[in-house]
A and B are shown apart, each in its own frame.
Chain A
Amino acid sequence: MTGAATSPMNAPALLFLRRLFRRKLVLVAALVLLAIVVVALAAPWVSPFDPGAMRVVRRLRPPSPEHWLGTDELGRDVFSRVVYGARASLGIGFSVVLASCLVGTVFGILAGYERRLDGPIMRVVDALMALPDILLAIFLVAVLGASAGNVVLALAIVYTPRVVRVVRASTLVVRELPFVEAARALGVGTPRILAVHILLNVASPILIQATFIFAYAVLAEAGLSFLGAGVPPEIPTWGTMIASGQQYADRAFWTVLYPGLAIVLSALSLQILGDGLRDMLDPKLRKAV
């Protein structure tokens, strides 16, 4: 039924880039994200003020040529804080993704491949997933103590079960494929089967899951900080900015609007990118285009 629709043979990477450029929205999202990351990395050079410098006389000033996005209740420059906040927020998001994907992949593959481990692992996963994400995170931060490291740890614990589920489901499919059987027939050891045959073929669902977790983690960090169960307020993150600015929101909307926009923009581009990646990496959806 595929007719003669054979495409010219290309390196997979090239093909991927071409598909990316076909989807304008995904491309835009990727560029927005790239810009945010660049700004976060270049924060000391981009931001006009020290994000912690307080000048109480200039508190709650509206946006002006000097303070592009205005100042907050302690006279700190909102633009500089949003830029520095990107570091913390994205840094926390990235750390959460790294931790939850690493741990989740290991347990997911073990649960999917080794029948004996499936029951115990999945029981823990189900228990963790039965609790609402943010409640579990608040509880964990409350137990561990509020610090950036503990927020990462708490959120990693919250999101790891998602990765385990996705990886386990993919592993269950891949392990039944004949190339895995061929490797067994050749006497290839289980560690290599897991690393080469299973891991490489469940990589794209993990990648997609990672973009979603990144978006969730940025949002959840903001939520935790807003509720006071997150990063201490001295460290500028988008969440702590909204949390401290919210009492002045009626008089000085810019204290919450801009960090809020930053959250929406980065979370939205991540979600779009995640969706786009899923479509591009899924050959069945690809055909429908």
Chain B
Amino acid sequence: MTQALLAIEDLEVRFGTEDGEVAPVTGVDLRVAPGETVALVGESGSGKSVSSLAVMGLLPRPAGRVAKGRILYRTKAGETIDLAAAPPDRVRRLRGAEIAMIFQEPMTSLNPVLTAGEQIAESVRLHLRLDRRAALRRAQEMLDLVEIPAAAKRLHDYPHQMSGGMRQRVMIALAMACHPRLLIADEPTTALDVTIQAQILALIDRLRRETGMGVLFITHNLGVVAEVADRVAVMYAGRIVETGPVGDLFRHPRHPYTAGLLDSLPARATRGPDGRRHVRAIPGSLGRAAAIRDACAFSPRCERVREECRTTPPPLEAITPGRAARCLFWREM
């Protein structure tokens, strides 16, 4: 196994709320190797976004904090740093230089009063210590890299003058400008139309192949996962319930939630006795499952639930190297 670029170990995030402390993420283990795309997939409230914010050191303060665990990142220089414990200053320098991020809504992540070129140039000057002219030249190269037509002209456009897809490209250009080794992409195509989504996914994938960066791809869309991921981690109620290589996980899910999620897809609908197509839905909703501590958090919705599931919190059990499921009865899946 290659040395991991990012290794999250037993991560627990806690949030202070008006109703006391809650832990939207507990016991998360995840590794991303160089050149690999790992998809963190889950529905809303699964804790996938909170996990990614923790990695980036962007948990909303003072409410959120990493309560337990380590987020180990291996730097270009070969040191291993715990992002959860390192001085905020250090983490900030890594972010943007070695760790880059893209988000769902590029409009809010781009500065509305700076042109595309200025934003990229600013970041490049900050992290790569280039002068103004060199930085602008680099900005144009970056826009070319992300396949923006007429890049020299687009350099002078403001975010509001661009379409959603174009803004996401600028965002990616901004992220790529400092040669990141790890890209964290949080729902980067969710706000885009499908034909534009396809372009952006292809672009991220091309950049990964060309630069060898690792990609942590956070999404709720299983179709997108199947298209981009090498490995997948499925989250439910703040915990990882299943991990594995994309093909094996999609073909032979070992956790009832993963199986249920795949069966919920309209494309997997089956024709019922009334001649109409129906989906196999997971009954119920997430509710307050993250608060369930002494049982399987999925047990209230699970079709295969047994007595043991309601009394024993299942561990994330290794099935084969790189494959694990948090279900007492994964063998029967």
Contacts and interface: CB of A to CB of B under 8 A. Distances in A.
Interface of A: 1-8, 18-19, 22, 286, 288-289
Contacts of A1: 44, 49-50, 53
B21 to A, nearest CB: 10
Contacts of B19: 5, 7-8
A3 B290 contact: yes
Contact of A5 (B24, B49, B53): B24
A102 to B, nearest CB: 34
Contact of A4 (B18, B22, B49, B53): B22
A289 B237 CA distance: 23
B18 A2 contact: no
Contacts of A5: 15, 17, 19, 22, 24
Contacts of B63: 288
17 contacts: A1-B44, A2-B45, A3-B13, A3-B22, A3-B290, A4-B22, A4-B23, A4-B45, A4-B47, A4-B286, A4-B288, A4-B289, A5-B15, A6-B288, A7-B19, A22-B18, A288-B63
A8 B288 CA distance: 9
Interface residues on B, range: 20 to 34
B287 interface: yes
B313 to A, nearest CB: 15
Contacts of A19: 18
B287 A6 contact: yes
Contacts of B49: 1
Q: Which 4 A-B pairs have the closest CB atoms?
A: A3-B24, A4-B290, A1-B49, A7-B19
Given A1-B53, A3-B50, A7-B19, 20 more contacts: A1-B49, A2-B44, A2-B45, A3-B25, A4-B23, A4-B47, A4-B237, A4-B238, A4-B288, A4-B289, A4-B291, A5-B19, A5-B22, A5-B24, A7-B17, A8-B19, A18-B18, A22-B18, A286-B18, A288-B60
Query: Which residue, A1, A8, A22, has most C-beta atoms of chain B within 10 A?
Result: A1
Contacts of B238: 3-4
A3 B18 contact: no
A177 B228 CA distance: 36
A110 B109 CA distance: 37
Query: Which residue, B19, B44, B47, B286, has most C-beta atoms of chain A within 10 A?
Result: B19
Interface string B16-39: 011100111100000000000000
